[in-house]
Amino acid sequence: MIIKMKKDASLEAVNRVLDYIQEEGFSIKDVSSERVKIYGVIGDTSKLEARDFYAFTAVGEVIRIQAPYKKASREFQALDTRIDLGDGVVIGGDQHVVMTGPCSVENETQMMTIGAFMQKHNLKILRGGAFKPRTSPYAFQGLGEEGLKLMRKVADTFGLKVISEVPSVSAIPMFEQYVDIIQVGARNMQNFHLLKALGKTRKPIFLKRGLSATIEEWLMSAEYIMDGGNDQVILCERGIRTFERYTRNTLDISAVLAIKELSHLPIIIDPSHASGRYKMVDPLAQAALAVGAHGQMIEIHPEPEKALSDGAQSLTLERFERLLTHLQPLADVLGKTIT
Amino acid sequence: MIIKMKKDASLEAVNRVLDYIQEEGFSIKDVSSERVKIYGVIGDTSKLEARDFYAFTAVGEVIRIQAPYKKASREFQALDTRIDLGDGVVIGGDQHVVMTGPCSVENETQMMTIGAFMQKHNLKILRGGAFKPRTSPYAFQGLGEEGLKLMRKVADTFGLKVISEVPSVSAIPMFEQYVDIIQVGARNMQNFHLLKALGKTRKPIFLKRGLSATIEEWLMSAEYIMDGGNDQVILCERGIRTFERYTRNTLDISAVLAIKELSHLPIIIDPSHASGRYKMVDPLAQAALAVGAHGQMIEIHPEPEKALSDGAQSLTLERFERLLTHLQPLADVLGKTIT
Amino acid sequence: MIIKMKKDASLEAVNRVLDYIQEEGFSIKDVSSERVKIYGVIGDTSKLEARDFYAFTAVGEVIRIQAPYKKASREFQALDTRIDLGDGVVIGGDQHVVMTGPCSVENETQMMTIGAFMQKHNLKILRGGAFKPRTSPYAFQGLGEEGLKLMRKVADTFGLKVISEVPSVSAIPMFEQYVDIIQVGARNMQNFHLLKALGKTRKPIFLKRGLSATIEEWLMSAEYIMDGGNDQVILCERGIRTFERYTRNTLDISAVLAIKELSHLPIIIDPSHASGRYKMVDPLAQAALAVGAHGQMIEIHPEPEKALSDGAQSLTLERFERLLTHLQPLADVLGKTIT
Amino acid sequence: MIIKMKKDASLEAVNRVLDYIQEEGFSIKDVSSERVKIYGVIGDTSKLEARDFYAFTAVGEVIRIQAPYKKASREFQALDTRIDLGDGVVIGGDQHVVMTGPCSVENETQMMTIGAFMQKHNLKILRGGAFKPRTSPYAFQGLGEEGLKLMRKVADTFGLKVISEVPSVSAIPMFEQYVDIIQVGARNMQNFHLLKALGKTRKPIFLKRGLSATIEEWLMSAEYIMDGGNDQVILCERGIRTFERYTRNTLDISAVLAIKELSHLPIIIDPSHASGRYKMVDPLAQAALAVGAHGQMIEIHPEPEKALSDGAQSLTLERFERLLTHLQPLADVLGKTIT
């Protein structure tokens, strides 16, 4: 951490800062030029908040050099984290996992159709919303526990794993009972109360990036979970908010590369939420595979026009089958196995 | 709601959309031009989600004309909502309420000093954080229930009201016991699970705008609370995220005017979080008063250099006293009473 | 165009709006509901500015339904525009053109090395900056006309086409003399004076997307050029500004798909400027090919550490060669020819 | 400037960076910790571009400590710049200048009405657009030189100064003939070719902030003009682009305070463009005065419904008169003179 003092700071005010730093157990290097006093703070500064130093009247600018996250960082762990879900499904290695399913779990027919379809195509991870976070209180809010039960039943029938979004701390025990991966939605990325509680479960966590979150903030949220004791975190880029309105969000495809440089955690892309338009999902899925993501999450629905939520971005089973035929030859070229 | 069909949509696909609209109980007006089919959906469309229509293959564009919120809207209630806290403190009328206190409750000395200071200046609403949402798991997280008790004690000693941020649904009963206004933090603005639960309390809710939320999303979050049965909602603009990094956030002062046009709910400004710089708080507070906000929330600390959080934006008691002497003559000119 | 009147608008004020619309030669359809007066404006509304209607006191909201651009739109021209540069190089069809060269033209050795390298790899379009737009007046500003001459010489030696960024209207004649494609930089995307003048040249224009431009604004800038008489416009997505700072900009890869839906103009991706990091260029280039872009522009430099500008995002010739070996098998699978 | 090396950088690669720094005439201080090599670059680093260092393979991160602008900075000049326009009009001191006039100059009647109105209210600076930058090529583009002549005539009749936006370098001589202040529009803020040319005039420059520009980029654009030899630069905050669409842009009122801290140049607010809504102009103008801006620019029109551009944000003369009666008592309290 580098601290630049104000030009007109008194010696006494500067010393108050330096004393504080030393009391906290850090050492100091002087990098001052003739015009301005600058100090380097040496030690494990991940425990310091840069902003707090601005309370000192002498401080002009504080610049963090060490990342504020630790356990999530590539420096802390050089090797890629691999999350083994059993039955040969591993996220974070050479498999390119294609999670799929409907936005909302609606009824048994819908889910059984999808389960059979997935089995046929050798796909392993079933997604589906049972508790839906909707911006309108008047919109369909999901089937609740009924939905989770249904997913579990379908998964057990067809040999699948289940992922679903948890709405709150109090629902965690229920989720532990039914699902294999617990999803944290974009709007809960900084629900620190929830993150802490998820640090205590033994289920892998699927952490969606917040709507306007920076990569650093996202990794800090992973850090919360890991610091709580659960190092099974999967990151999911699902589009960020930009000025562009033609797409629902803007897929930040470079985030895959940034995460791979900064962290050892697996990174998945969600082209359905990122674009919000079913026509874009197929080419974006190809790009996601080409750029090196560890997998994707794609929404499908047997009859999108009758979906109770997000039909706009759901593929029909026919379109999704076509998508798979596009991914396969690319995966072959790139040396990846689609799961 | 206006629905524009795709140029090449088949008659049959268009009819599927029109049938659906009529089944849902709406009527239709044809506004088609020669080149493109366009339909108006007539009825209470606040219950429709525009995005859902894109699932129909015929639909090109959906344009919402009615606001998606209802109870929060000025059209629903023409008169300003006034929230009466007792002892003559009313938010939403001619009073300009200046809520103040430390970022975090730290200890009794700090709080008693601030309580006595507020009594001396005839200020009525004490703020303070007991459960702090921190981006780093390694930062000070607040005193918890101890902090709430301390605030209540100080408030009772000096005749004050208490406002504090609730971390989760499970903490609501505890908050109902100690505070007069329950605050929802910016990062929880779309924690719908929490919003629903707050609809069931009888305490006024202080709803901070999310970091990148639009005004419409913010009002939709108010709608969640109101739809649950609690119409005592106060909105707080606390700065939004922009590309500018010199300030912590960017105060959207026009939001005060937008809220007053679109809604009947009171609107407060938080210049401390908006700027993150104590030097800017005084002139921004003057601007907030001039633009017509119903009040402000300003962080103070007897010794900002020793604050356990957000000292950077806290005013010393001396600086805050000076700020009050700047606000008073403006309030006189503008016909407002500072409380 | 849909015009929603204010709830409390007087009949007389509403009629002033309707009279104006009819005087301008449009017809009107009434879509009013019981609660609010709404009118559809029928005709070629691309010539109307939605904002202008807000000057009428009766007008509450104006919603554009027809795109404000015309010649650039897919509705105006269904078939893809193909830009034939001669010698078999065509942008906008099945070729995937890989334009390459240094950020800045520096000297003859540098350029001859690159020219020979391109010939060897059968690449056809040489890029290079001669007039550099730099955010700092103290940074290297380019070789000027000397740079253009050098590019022309190298291109003629190795059978290449030249693309370079034009700084101003007065430089257009000079560019017409030396280059095959005239580039408009991101910061000039809304320099309307320049766009108008480029409408008068017969050279193809390479129009970079502005730093925070929406796709609609970008297509409106293309419209300026096309309306001036030059329909040879190539669009280039080069990353947009977001809150993320790890990458220089954020590559909006979905923009390729949006442009292909909305327009008939070719769309190129610039992974070098989008990421600002040479390590990301290779995987992003693979994604750009997979998503269906008509080509890319990639910066290279024989010795990036000695580059006078943007060495950070320039590939060495070795890295670029490796990139080409990655693109080739993907192009084979996707049925594209790399040029 | 602080340079952090990559963890795995070779000694030889690190030394290449250090050699380069010393060759450029800077000295180096070592601030390395045990885990990572970090160096401070000592000297006038405003001439270095941080990004350029990333071309070195050893470099992990470069952090600028000195501002990249110099002549525009408060450190370079402690005293406020005052721009004396003659006849007692000074921008940058205790006067709060209210520039006003129509968006577009339309005809003599309009302008003479406004001129007489300004004289009556003792306002001194007449604004008006003669060359309008319009996002649509089909919209009214202004009267051109005729418009400038008309403004000059009105100004000479009523003892006013003239400000108008310059479209291009070639128009500068024409503007020098007619106007007192040359305006650079938001879309030209990084038209470096234009900025350089304006460094050669002796007229004061009114530099609008770009739509998504940071304060640093804005000051860098001022630096271009000042480095060219013209230190008469006035900055104008006119709203920035955010996700909020209810207002045309978002007024960044804190920018006034940031500019006053970072620079000695005067800062003006444009509430008309910032909000795009005439109803918001009055309260925003009060806030702009309260926050300490050196003045404002407000659009008026005798008949906004008939304006050829931006009627939506223009005040009628009656509304503007009312605004002035609101500003006056605030100015008295704040010790400012409205000019």
**Comparison of pLDDT for B20 and C207, the residue scoring more:** C207
Nearest residue, CB atoms, D224 vs list C137, C196, C306: C137
Q: What percent of chain B has pLDDT over 90?
A: 74
Answer whether C138's CB lies under 8 Å from D46's CB: yes
Rounded to whole angstroms, what are the CA distances from D322 to D95, D121, D279, D317, D326?
20, 12, 12, 9, 6
Contact B188 A191 (CB under 8 A): yes
Q: Is the pLDDT of residue C50 over 90?
A: no
Q: Which residues contact A211 (CB under 8 A, 6 or more apart)?
A: A186, A187, A240, A241, A249, B212
Select from D18, D61, D131, D136 the residue whose CB has the most chain C CBs within 10 Å, as the one to mutate to test that interface: D136
In angstroms, the separation between the Cα of residue A13 and the nearest Cα of chain D is 20
Query: DSSP class of residue C68?
Result: S
Tell me the shortest Cα–Cα distance from D38 to chain A, in angstroms: 9
pLDDT band at A209 (very low <50, low <70, confident <90, very high): very high
**A304 pLDDT band (50/70/90 cuts)?**
confident
pLDDT of A48 reads: 81
Whether C54 and chain B come into contact, CB under 8 Å, resolves to: no
Angle at A216 between CA C278 and CA A82, to 5 degrees: 80
Task: Pick the most confident of A232-246, A307-321, C132-146.
Answer: A232-246
**How far is residue D269's CA from residue D122's CA, in Å, rounded to a whole number?**
20
Judged by a CB distance cut-off of 8 A, whether residue B272 touches chain A is: no
So what's the ipTM on this one? 0.92
Do B30 and C30 meet the contact criterion of CB atoms below 8 Å apart?
Answer: no
Q: With bands split at pLDDT 50, 70 and 90, how would you rate the model's confidence at A57? A: confident
Question: Cβ–Cβ of A253/C286 closer than 8 Å?
Answer: no
- CA A228, A234, A238 angle in degrees (round to 5)? 120
pLDDT band at B192 (very low <50, low <70, confident <90, very high): very high
Span C101-111, pLDDT tens digits: 999 999 999 99
D218 touches chain C (CB under 8 A): no
**Minimum CA–CA partner of D56 in chain C:** C305
pLDDT in tens, C298-334: 999 998 887 777 778 889 999 999 999 999 999 999 9
D310/C169 CB distance under 8 A = no
d(CA C234, CA C219): 11
Which residue among A242, A261, A291 sits closest to C284, beta carbon to beta carbon?
A291
Distance from CA of B22 to the nearest CA of D (A): 31
The B residues from 70 to 129 touching A (CB cutoff 8 Å) are none
Q: What chain B residue is nearest to C29 in terms of C-alpha separation?
A: B31
B226 pLDDT above the threshold of 90: yes
Using the Cβ of D328 and the Cβ atoms of chain B, whether some distance falls under 8 Å is answered with: no
Q: How many whole angstroms separate alpha carbon D337 and alpha carbon D142?
A: 33
Q: What is the pLDDT of residues A150-187, one digit of tens each?
A: 999 999 999 999 999 999 999 999 999 999 999 999 99
pLDDT of D165 reads 97
Position with higher pLDDT, C33 vs C180: C180
Closest partner residue to C243 (CB to CB) among B61, B63, B241 is B241
Measured CA to CA, the distance from residue D159 to residue A199 in angstroms comes to 72
Side chain identity, residue D298: I
pLDDT, position A32: 84
Query: Which residue of chain C has the CA closest to B29?
Result: C31
**Given CA atoms D269, D271, D273, D275 in this order, what sign does their dihedral have?**
positive
Write the residue in C51, C223, C276 that is nearest to D137 by C-beta: C223
- Tell me the backbone φ, ψ of residue D179, rounded to 5 degrees: -110, 165
Alpha-carbon distance D91 to D73, whole Å? 18
At B199, the pLDDT band (50, 70, 90 cuts) reads: very high
Pairing of strands C95-101, C337-338: parallel
Is any Cβ of chain A less than 8 angstroms from the Cβ of D36?
yes
Over the stretch B267-306, which tens digit does the pLDDT of each residue have? 999 999 999 999 999 999 999 999 999 999 999 999 888 7
Please name the residue ranges forming H helices in chain C.
11-23, 108-120, 145-158, 172-178, 192-198, 215-227, 254-262, 271-275, 278-291, 317-334
Of D254, D289, D333, the CB nearest to B250: D254
Residue C261: its pLDDT value, please? 95
C30 contacts on B by Cβ (under 8 Å): 29
Q: How far is D15 from chain B (nearest CA, A)?
A: 33
**pLDDT tops 90 at residue C152:** yes
- Residue C46, pLDDT above cutoff 90: no
Which member of B38, B43, B241 has the closest CB to residue C40? Answer: B38
Beta-bridge partners for D226: none
Q: Is the pLDDT reported for residue C32 higher than 80?
A: yes
Query: Quick one: pLDDT at residue A52?
Result: 81
SS (H, E, C) B222-280: HHHHHHCCCCCEEEEECCECCCCCCCCCECECHHHHHHHHHECCCEEECHHHHHCCHHH
pLDDT per residue as tens digits for the range A77-95:
999 999 999 999 999 999 9
Residue in A167, A276, A305 nearest the CB of B193: A167
Residue B265 has pLDDT above 90, yes or no: yes
> What subunits touch chain A, counting only 3 or more CB pairs under 8 A?
B, C, D
Residue-level pLDDT at C139? 78
Model confidence at C264: pLDDT above 80: yes
Q: From the CA of B240, how many Å to the nearest CA of chain C?
A: 12
How far is the alpha carbon of B189 from chain D, nearest alpha carbon, in Å? 16
B228 touches chain C (CB under 8 A): no
3 state SS of A144: coil
CB contact under 8 A, C257 and A330: no
C274-294: string of b/e by CB count within 10 Å (b at 16+)? bbbbbebbbbbbbbbbbbbbb
Q: Quick one: pLDDT at residue B109?
A: 94
Q: Cβ neighbours of residue C73 under 8 Å, at least 6 residues apart?
A: C67, C219, C262, C263, C264
The rounded distance, in Å, linking the Cα atoms of D166 and D159 is 22
Instruction: Write the residue in C137, C220, C309 that is nearest to D227 by C-beta.
Output: C137
> A263: closest CA among A295, A292, A220, A225?
A220
Structure tokens that stand for C101 in this block: 């060269």
pLDDT in tens, C65-89: 888 899 999 989 999 999 999 999 9
Work out whether strand B38-42 and strand B27-30 pair parallel, antiparallel, or are unpaired. Answer: antiparallel
- Residue D61: the pLDDT is 86
- D 175-204 residues with CB below 8 A of B? none
Q: What is the pLDDT of residue D334?
A: 96
* pLDDT band of B65, cuts 50, 70, 90: confident
Which is more confident, D47 or C188?
A: C188
Give Cα separations from A116 to B164, B321, C245 (angstroms): 51, 70, 44
With CA atoms as reference, the chain A residue closest to C217 would be A244
Is the Cβ pair B214, D284 closer than 8 Å?
no
Q: Do C330 and A255 touch (CB under 8 A)?
A: no
Residues in chain A closer than 8 A to B169 (CB atoms):
168-170
pLDDT (tens digit, 9 = 90+) per residue, D208-256? Answer: 999 999 999 999 999 999 999 999 999 999 999 999 999 999 999 999 9
pLDDT of A289 reads: 98
Q: Inform me whether the pLDDT recorded for A321 exceeds 80.
A: yes
pLDDT of residue B1: 86
Q: Is the pLDDT of residue C135 over 80?
A: no
Nearest CA in chain A to D245: A243
Measure CB to CB from residue C242 to each of A242, A253, A275 and give the nearest one. Answer: A242
Task: Provide the angle, in degrees to the nearest 10, between the axes of the packed helices B254-262 and B215-227.
Answer: 50
Which positions in chain B touch C63 (Cβ < 8 Å)? Answer: 2, 63, 65
Per-residue pLDDT of chain D (339 residues; tens, 9 = 90+): 889 998 889 999 999 999 999 988 888 988 887 778 889 888 888 778 888 888 888 998 888 888 889 999 998 999 999 999 999 999 999 999 999 999 999 999 999 999 999 999 999 999 999 998 877 787 778 899 999 999 999 999 999 999 999 999 999 999 999 999 999 999 999 999 999 999 999 999 999 999 999 999 999 999 999 999 999 999 999 999 999 999 999 999 999 999 999 999 999 999 999 999 999 999 999 999 999 999 999 999 998 887 777 778 889 999 999 999 999 999 999 999 999
Query: How far is A312 from chain C, CA to nearest CA, in Å?
Result: 16
CB–CB of D291 and B283 under 8 A?
A: yes
| Stretch A205-228: mean pLDDT | 96
Distance between A215 CA and the closest CA of chain C, angstroms: 7
Q: Which pLDDT belongs to residue C60? A: 87
Determine contact: B7 vs chain C, CB below 8 A.
yes
Residue reference for tokens 């401390």: B272
Residues on chain B touching A222 (C-beta within 8 angstroms): none
- Chain B interface includes C65 (CB < 8 A): yes
Pick from B33, B40, B63: CB nearest C42: B33
Average pLDDT over residues A36-65: 85
Contact predicate D4/D63, CB 8 Å: yes
- Of the candidates B49, B170, B241, the beta carbon closest to that of A212 is on B241
**Does the beta carbon of B243 lie under 8 angstroms from any beta carbon of chain C?**
yes
Q: Which of A128, A121, A119, A198 is nearest to A163 (CA)?
A: A128
Largest CA distance in chain A: 75
Cα dist from C210 to C187, C191, C298, D221, whole Å: 6, 10, 18, 17
Tracing tokens 């554009």 back to the chain, one arrives at C64
CA distance D200 to chain B (A): 30
Q: Say whether A136 and B305 touch across the interface (CB within 8 A).
A: no
What does the pLDDT read at residue D65?
Answer: 80
Q: Give the chain A residue nearest B302 (alpha carbons).
A: A55
Question: Is pLDDT of A273 > 90?
Answer: yes
Going by their DSSP bridges, the two strands A267-269 and A295-299 should be labelled as: parallel
User: Which residues sit opposite A4 in a β-bridge?
Assistant: A38, A61
Query: For A63, which of D2, D7, D29 is closest by C-beta distance?
Result: D2
pLDDT of residue B322: 97
Which of B193, B227, B315 best probes binding to A when mutated, by most A CB atoms within 10 angstroms?
B193
- Looking at the complex, report in whole angstroms how far the Cα of residue A204 sits from the nearest Cα belonging to chain C: 26
CA distance A123 to B216: 39
Q: Do C31 and B241 touch (CB under 8 A)?
A: no
Distance CA A151, CA A107 (A): 10
What SS3 string covers D31-94? CCCCCCCEEEEECCHHHCCHHHHHHCCCEEEEECCCCCCCCCECCCCCCCCCEECCCCCEECCC
Partners of A299 in the beta sheet? A101
